[in-house]
Amino acid sequence: MKHLLSAFAVLAIVAGGATLPAGAMEQKPRSAKSIECSKLADQKGLHGKARHKFRSECKRGKTSS
């Protein structure tokens, strides 16, 4: 019975740690180019897939502002 309770305790600890809020994980700082491309996407009113595509191309230098 003690082994079963120990297993549940370990499972609870592991499961609890796996569900961290998004802000709790350390993130890389964004580059100046990434921030600039986000601002341009905002100015164009882009959202979703169109925004993702634009930012991706912008960061590679494949778009004209």
In 3D, which of 18, 7, 57, 15 has the Cα closest to residue 37? 57
Residue 3 domain-assigned?
no
Residue 10 domain-assigned?
no
Span 52-56, mean pLDDT? 96
CB 56, CB 40: distance < 8 Å:
no
CB 2, CB 27: distance < 8 Å:
no
Kindly report, residue by residue over 15-37, the tens digit of the pLDDT.
Answer: 655 555 655 678 889 999 999 99
What residue numbers bound the domain in which 39 lies?
A: 31-65
CB 54, CB 37: distance < 8 Å:
yes
Strands (E), 1-65: none
Q: What is the pLDDT of residue 27?
A: 84
Span 37-47, mean pLDDT? 97
Q: What is the pLDDT of residue 15?
A: 60
Residue 7 domain-assigned?
no
